[in-house]
Amino acid sequence: MPSPYRALFTAPGSKSFSAAGFLGRMPLSMMGIGVVTMVSQLTGRYGLAGALSATVALSAAVVGPQISRLVDRFGQRRVLRPATLCALTAAAGLLLAAHLAWPDWVLFGCAAGIGTVPSLGAMVRARWAALYRGTPQLHTAYSFESVVDEVCFIFGPIISIGLSTSWFPEAGPLLAACFLATGVLWLTAQRGTEPEPHPRDHHTGGTALRSPGLQVLVATFVATGTIFGAVDVVTVAFADEQGHKAAASVVLALYAAGSCVAGLVFGLLRFTGAPERRWLLGVCGMAVSMIPLLLVGNLPFLAVALFVAGLTIAPTMITTMALIERHVPRAHLTEGMTWVSTGLAVGVAIGSSVAGWVIDAAGARTGYGVPAVSGTVAVAVGFLGYRRLCRPVPQRGGSHEHHSEREERHMA
């Protein structure tokens, strides 16, 4: 590992909370596809399987920011453990209901309950911010976490699908639940690196979404999430039309691998210009990278095109996290990061459904028009909101926060 990344982990506790966050994030890529695989195998109803997966994603999109807001107010340990217990109970209920063929409404109720799963990525990034705020190392830390996200999305679906198809249908979601429980318990046991909660600031500070800059980022990432959701569905359909449906997982893994490579390189670079310009350039790059997909004629070309497209993802996401820290009060940092994930989740649900409709109506190659249009929308939103992102933002940490930081430096 290059020295800037190695230097990250010289801080006490950094290795442990990063590893815990990795384990706890695996369900992000395993649960949805695991539910689809499990339900389709047990019932043969792909429509029901897809609807349940969408219910899990949309529930998490609605509940996730509220959980993160409570974390900012009361601390990670006090909130994550009960929230995770609710998610695990709902997951157990879903597995049992599917196995015993209980009514559909029970399945949907349990799927909605899984939405209480906390955003471990936001929790880990908040710990990095507490360690390295205002230093170049924070850029490297965000880059590293973006790579971890991509690793989860490369291997998570493969593990989940493989277990559910080769062992027993419930194996994929069951392992995802085990990863979640282990990751959360391990993370919350590490009190030394837990960011300080801000209960006083939340009495008057409202929600992080009141920030005009965050509103622009979330709106843009709804369109960006639509790109991701559409690319996944259309790629599976295109591979099926080519007679190699199983190859879709490899092609999509290359999409994530491109982002992983770009994230590693991006973390080694040091920038001095305005991050708003890099962010807008990244959004434009994501949109432009969708154009070659309209010309695909075979799977090898598609694999190359998606790998190149993936190179634009991680740098844009990394810059987004840096912008959140600039535009959101520290007392709402975890919530702000979760709102961007919520925008992505909503976009993924939209992209998946719209792409499916287009594929049914006009075929898979035409379906790649959905991410191309979504990229154009993302660019338009980015340009329209650019001035909001460039607007100076006063430090809004509050006197209580500054007093706490002085105490910490004195104790150190």
Tens digit of each residue's pLDDT (9 = 90 or more) over 255-277: 888 988 998 888 888 777 778 89
Looking at the fold, whether 63 and 27 belong to one and the same domain comes out as yes
**Does any domain span residue 404?**
no
**Does any domain span residue 408?**
no
**Does any domain span residue 402?**
no
Give the separation between CA 344 and CA 340, rounded to whole angstroms: 6
Looking at the fold, whether 224 and 182 belong to one and the same domain comes out as no
Looking at the fold, whether 79 and 180 belong to one and the same domain comes out as yes
Give the separation between CA 205 and CA 216, rounded to whole angstroms: 19
Looking at the fold, whether 165 and 226 belong to one and the same domain comes out as no
Looking at the fold, whether 161 and 234 belong to one and the same domain comes out as no
Looking at the fold, whether 131 and 223 belong to one and the same domain comes out as no
Contacts of 86 (CB under 8 A, 6+ apart): 113, 116
Tokens of 121: 């990525």
In this predicted model, what pLDDT tens digit does every residue of 191-222 receive, in sequence order?
888 888 877 654 445 677 678 888 899 999 99
Looking at the fold, whether 113 and 212 belong to one and the same domain comes out as no
Looking at the fold, whether 160 and 266 belong to one and the same domain comes out as no
Where in the sequence is the domain holding 312, given as residue range(s)? 207-392
Looking at the fold, whether 182 and 218 belong to one and the same domain comes out as no
Looking at the fold, whether 83 and 227 belong to one and the same domain comes out as no
Looking at the fold, whether 63 and 134 belong to one and the same domain comes out as yes
**Domain count for the chain:** 2
- Single-letter code of the amino acid located at 50: G
Inter-residue long-range contacts of 82-85, CB under 8 Å, 24+ positions, other chains counted:
83/116, 83/117, 83/118, 84/116, 84/117, 84/118, 84/180, 84/181, 84/184
**Does any domain span residue 169?**
yes
Looking at the fold, whether 285 and 164 belong to one and the same domain comes out as no
CATH, residue 242: 1.20.1250.20
Render each residue's pLDDT in the chain as its tens digit; 412 residues.
Answer: 557 788 888 888 899 999 999 999 888 878 877 887 788 788 877 667 777 877 888 888 888 888 988 988 888 999 999 999 999 999 999 999 999 989 989 999 999 999 898 888 889 988 998 888 888 888 888 888 888 887 887 788 778 877 887 888 898 899 999 999 999 999 999 988 888 887 765 444 567 767 888 889 999 999 998 898 888 878 878 887 888 766 777 888 888 889 889 988 888 887 777 788 999 999 999 999 999 999 888 889 999 999 999 999 989 988 888 888 788 877 777 788 888 888 887 887 788 778 878 887 888 888 899 999 999 999 999 999 888 887 756 554 443 333 333 333 333 3
**Does any domain span residue 223?**
yes
